Amino acid sequence: MSIKVAIVEDNKDVRENLADIINLSSRFECIVMFNDSETAIKKLPDEEIDVVLMDINLPGMNGIECIKKLKTIKPGLQFIMLTVYDDFEKIFESLKAGAVGYLLKRTPQNKILDAIEEVYKGGSPMSSPIARMIVESFQKDVSALTAEYMLTKRETEILELLSKGYKYQEIADKLFISVETVRSHLRNTYEKLHVRSRTEAVIKFLKNS
């Protein structure tokens, strides 16, 4: 069974190129395309769609506001923001609105397809520079996340070190514990946060900020 994709993009060439890339793979099928938010809000809820590729800079209502509206109408829709914007404000607002992935338009075609499949399977794909940016932002404060999800002191310590870029072995050395203990604490942390990766943990934090 193919993964059903919708595209919301105002640039005709970009829109059609994305549709061609998607339809050339047996794993995917581009079901519908829209060039503005208003039409997408009106028609997309009636379609059986698994993943939506959403641009930000659209005529009229922007893509971030479009996601907010569509999530209230059809909460199960999964969105990947596909945009040229790499500033933190746009990333933050997109994730808060309900996007589960954020890719830059310069992302290679095969990576876009992989990201669609990852979202379909429950993941949260990010372009590498974007993932680095949101991980770094996570360093500012984890107290709200810690309190809400009842993380232990050790789980919080490990999560903070991970967000600062420390590798598992470096965390183990710094805290005088084994690498397996680090992995065990992270498994518990991710289970409490209902996520499966560092990036998803950061997204969880941003959406609760």
3-state helix, strand, coil in the chain (%, to 5): 55, 15, 30
Share of the chain above pLDDT 90, in %: 53
- What is the pLDDT at residue 190? 76
Show Cβ contacts of residue 5 under 8 Å, excluding neighbours closer than 6 positions.
22, 28, 29, 30, 31, 49, 50, 51, 52, 53, 116
Segment among 3-17, 77-91, 141-155, 165-179 with least mean pLDDT: 141-155
Domain segments of the chain as ranges: 3-125, 135-207
Show Cβ contacts of residue 139 under 8 Å, excluding neighbours closer than 6 positions.
160, 163, 164
pLDDT tier at 188, thresholds 50, 70, 90: confident
pLDDT, average across residues 99-126: 90
- What is the pLDDT at residue 203? 65
* pLDDT one-digit tens code per residue, 70-88: 999 999 999 999 999 888 7
* Whether 33 contacts 7, CB under 8 Å: yes
- What is the pLDDT at residue 183? 83
Q: DSSP labels for 60-78?
A: SS-HHHHHHHHHHH-TT-E
Task: Please state, in angstroms and rounded to a whole number, the distance separating the CA atoms of residues 128 and 108.
Answer: 12
Q: Which residues are paired to 99 by β-bridges?
A: none
- What is the pLDDT at residue 16? 96
Mean of all residue pLDDT scores within the chain: 86
pLDDT tier at 191, thresholds 50, 70, 90: confident
* pLDDT one-digit tens code per residue, 23-51: 999 999 999 999 999 999 999 999 999 99
Residue reference for tokens 């059609």: 16
pLDDT, average across residues 199-205: 64
Does domain 135-207 fall under CATH 1.20.120.1200? My reply is no
pLDDT tier at 205, thresholds 50, 70, 90: low
Q: Would 3-125 and 135-207 be classified into the same CATH topology?
A: no
* pLDDT one-digit tens code per residue, 122-167: 888 888 777 767 666 665 555 666 666 788 889 888 877 876 667 7
Does domain 3-125 fall under CATH 3.20.20.370? My reply is no
- What is the pLDDT at residue 147? 66
